């Protein structure tokens, strides 16, 4: 890749094209809501989200180029810039805010957060994330061009350039979306077969195995690749095939807290919920902190460059060098911090607002650097949120902000920081795409701010809908990350956390790090049920097959197959997320003394066998669409 001194964008700086248009605003806003809702559902099910930049870019090309007959790569880039903001803001929100709903479910005297509270918190976090990233653009995007790969930002630029030169990639995304939507409706709507297959390993008491046969999980595995998916699956094996049988063997008929029944009478799910979840929580927390410590030298370097850039005006005012004015960035950040402090609907004190400003810019720097190395989908935002919650909760407790009010304040602080980190990472990826195609940075930054506001207004409604349908913390929506954040806050504030189990998880994380393995993927696999990591692992195997396919005519053909799989997988994730929201609507519509969702439920007539057969067909479709060739290219 060329260095920044010799790099020339696709659209020259002296050429003006349609970019920030009514079409891009409307289409970007729609995609921000759609992909935000889809990723909210995905994150609440499996504890992770994926970048929406590429699918948003492909859908944009399909609509703007094919339907509206317009030709502007910069307009398409603006659509994906706005559209991807929904995914990032949703990730920050669903990793933390469901804890507030869970507390309301546990105690009838506590009220769930209202719509305007969610909107205010998420919008403030989204706006801060964008503003904090602006002074980092030159240091990370321009000066380190050719050093930091920004995998998703670069891939998105390649997709946009491919669309400019011809091709019909949008068909693959829409095919995945349609097939996934139909599959999801048959599995979890009509319930023709069980969406989860589960087996007890009888010769090994306490051990179990299972698989959630859902399209989004296979898509996540394909996008992440075999290595990350394999690490997650390894974590699941450690939990379900090693630790749980050991607990059953040594625990026998003992009643050991925090469980409320003897171990010999517990199911595998109960052993996981009572013990493994806390071990996984310790591993994830330690993994997040280890990841931050390992990147500390690059964090300091980037932070120093950002500070040095304050107040310096660029001599070259080419269109491709224009950022939002630093006065606007600093003034906007200060204004938002004051709003967070004084706004009645946001339960954050002056100390909390100060924590947000300090840790916000710090973690925006961390996140922007991390996505440049590993991409947005693998960005350890939850690790940053955990570190924030540990510090914020301890500070609040030390200053007398205890009890439920203190815990709510801690979660809200963690939510803003989590959204700041997620939005900063997304903004840096989008600005990288814009740098390659020749977009105007200032207009992209305004687009990100617009997307943050739209997404913040939508995410509250999505969360209320999903909670009303199934409830956060249920089998349908386990909200693993938010459950973890809730445990962290309760443990620090009230001393209710079983620290022995947590420190066992910390020890496992340290051992994994000593082995030279990435801690977070293994820790997440340890924390989540193995039913979720199994389909992710299978998706990763298919990605590995495409990467090592021997009968490819050229390396370009191999890249084409892999890109097709990424696009189809993005469609699988979007389709399941959209139908998940539709099923949530059906679940709250009354019908014949129940809900409409109950009326169409067939009760899984094909059982586990049908689950495996249908999922095998779905995986076959992933292989089929990955192997589609662009006849004009090959």
pTM for the structure as a whole: 0.74
Joined together, the tokens standing for residue 169 give 């990639």
Check whether 316 has a pLDDT greater than 60: no
Q: Which residue has the tokens 């653009």?
A: 137
Cα separation, 145 vs 373, in Å, equals 12
Cα separation, 367 vs 592, in Å, equals 50
Per-residue confidence band for 598, with pLDDT thresholds at 50, 70 and 90: low
Q: What's the mean pLDDT when you consider all of the chain?
A: 83
Check whether 2 has a pLDDT greater than 60: no
Check whether 429 has a pLDDT greater than 80: yes
Check whether 399 has a pLDDT greater than 70: yes
Q: 215-224 and 555-587 helices cross at what angle (nearest 10)?
A: 150
Query: Mean per-residue pLDDT for 490-515?
Result: 86
pLDDT for res 634: 41
3-state SS track over 91-131: HHHHCCCHHHHHHHHHCCCCCCCCHHHHHHHHHHHHHHHHH
Give the residue from 450, 482, 452, 453 showing the smallest Cα distance to 466: 482
Phi, then psi, of 192 in degrees rounded to 5: -70, -30
pLDDT for res 420: 93
Cα separation, 363 vs 267, in Å, equals 40
Residue 233: how many CA atoms within 13 Å on its side-chain side? 22
Query: Mean per-residue pLDDT for 270-292?
Result: 81
7-26 pLDDT, tens digit each:
788 888 888 888 889 989 99
Phi, then psi, of 313 in degrees rounded to 5: -90, 130
Phi, then psi, of 574 in degrees rounded to 5: -65, -45
H/E run at residue 210: strand 208-212
Cα separation, 82 vs 32, in Å, equals 6
For the chain, count helices (H), then strands (E): 26, 4
Per-residue confidence band for 244, with pLDDT thresholds at 50, 70 and 90: very high
Percent of the chain residues past pLDDT 70, beyond the cut: 86
Query: Mean per-residue pLDDT for 317-338?
Result: 88
- What are the structural domain ranges in the chain? 27-167+272-531
Check whether 159 has a pLDDT greater than 70: yes
Displacement of CA 410 from its chain's centroid (Å): 21
Q: Comparing 116-125, 368-377, 459-468, which segment has the lowest mean pLDDT?
A: 368-377
555-595 pLDDT, tens digit each:
778 888 888 888 888 788 778 877 876 776 676 666 666 66
Per-residue confidence band for 259, with pLDDT thresholds at 50, 70 and 90: confident
Percent composition of the chain: helix, strand, coil (DSSP 3-state, to 5): 70, 5, 25
pLDDT for res 623: 93
Alpha helices by DSSP H, 142-225: 151-165, 170-184, 215-224
Per-residue confidence band for 379, with pLDDT thresholds at 50, 70 and 90: low
227-237 pLDDT, tens digit each:
888 998 999 99
Q: Max CA-CA distance within the chain?
A: 76
């Amino acid at each position: 890749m060329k260095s920044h001194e010799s790099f020339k964008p696709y659209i020259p700086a002296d050429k003006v094209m349609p970019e920030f248009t009514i079409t891009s605003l409307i289409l970007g806003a729609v995609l921000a809501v759609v992909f935000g809702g889809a990723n909210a559902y995905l994150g609440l099910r499996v504890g992770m989200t994926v970048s929406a930049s590429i699918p948003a870019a492909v859908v944009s090309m399909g609509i703007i180029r094919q339907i509206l007959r317009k030709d502007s790569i910069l307009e398409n880039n603006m659509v994906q810039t706005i559209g991807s903001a929904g995914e990032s803001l949703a990730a920050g929100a669903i990793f933390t805010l469901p804890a507030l709903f869970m507390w309301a479910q546990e105690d009838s005297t506590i009220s769930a957060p209202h719509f305007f509270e969610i909107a205010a918190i998420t919008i403030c976090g989204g706006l801060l994330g964008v503003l904090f990233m602006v002074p980092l653009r030159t240091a990370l995007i321009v000066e380190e061009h050719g050093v930091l790969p920004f995998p998703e930002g670069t891939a998105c630029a390649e997709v946009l350039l491919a669309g400019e030169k011809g091709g019909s990639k949008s068909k693959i995304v829409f095919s995945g979306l349609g097939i996934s939507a139909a599959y999801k409706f048959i599995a979890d709507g009509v319930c023709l077969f069980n969406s989860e297959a589960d087996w007890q390993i009888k010769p090994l008491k306490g051990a179990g195995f299972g698989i959630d046969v859902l399209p989004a999980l296979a898509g996540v595995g394909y996008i992440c690749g075999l290595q990350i998916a394999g690490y997650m699956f390894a974590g699941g094996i450690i939990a379900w095939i090693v630790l749980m049988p050991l607990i059953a063997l040594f625990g026998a008929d003992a009643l050991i807290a925090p469980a409320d029944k003897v171990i010999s009478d517990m199911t595998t799910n109960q052993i996981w919920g009572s013990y493994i979840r806390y071990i996984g929580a310790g591993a994830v927390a330690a993994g997040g902190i280890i990841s931050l410590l390992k990147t500390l030298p690059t964090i300091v370097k980037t932070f120093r460059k950002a500070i040095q850039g304050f107040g310096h005006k660029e001599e070259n005012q080419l269109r491709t060098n224009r950022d939002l004015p630093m006065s606007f960035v600093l003034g906007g950040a200060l204004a938002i911090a004051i709003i967070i402090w004084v706004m009645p609907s946001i339960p954050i004190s002056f100390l909390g607002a100060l924590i947000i400003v300090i840790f916000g810019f710090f973690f925006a720097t961390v996140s922007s650097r991390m996505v440049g190395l590993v991409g947005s989908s693998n960005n350890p935002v939850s690790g940053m949120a955990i570190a924030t919650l540990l510090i914020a909760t301890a500070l609040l407790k030390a200053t007398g902000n205890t009890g439920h009010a203190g815990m709510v304040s801690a979660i809200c602080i963690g939510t803003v920081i989590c959204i700041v980190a997620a939005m900063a990472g997304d903004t840096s990826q989008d600005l990288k795409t814009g740098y390659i195609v020749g977009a105007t940075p200032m207009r992209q930054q305004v687009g990100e701010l617009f997307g943050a506001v739209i997404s913040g207004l939508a995410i509250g409604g999505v969360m209320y809908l999903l909670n009303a349908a199934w409830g956060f913390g249920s089998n349908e929506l386990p909200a693993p990350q938010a459950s973890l954040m809730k445990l962290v806050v309760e443990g620090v504030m009230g001393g209710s956390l079983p620290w022995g189990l947590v420190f066992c998880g910390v020890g496992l994380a340290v051992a994994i790090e000593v082995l030279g393995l990435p801690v977070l993927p293994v820790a997440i696999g340890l924390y989540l049920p193995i039913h979720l990591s199994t389909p992710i692992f299978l998706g990763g195997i298919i990605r590995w097959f495409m990467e090592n396919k021997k009968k490819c005519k050229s390396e370009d053909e191999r890249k084409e197959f892999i890109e097709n799989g990424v696009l189809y997988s993005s469609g699988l994730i979007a389709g399941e997320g959209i139908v998940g929201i539709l099923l949530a609507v059906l679940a709250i519509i009354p019908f014949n003394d129940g809900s409409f969702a109950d009326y169409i439920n067939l009760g899984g007539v094909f059982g586990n066998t049908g689950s495996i057969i249908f999922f095998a067909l779905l995986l076959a479709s992933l292989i089929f669409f990955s192997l589609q060739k662009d006849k004009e290219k090959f």
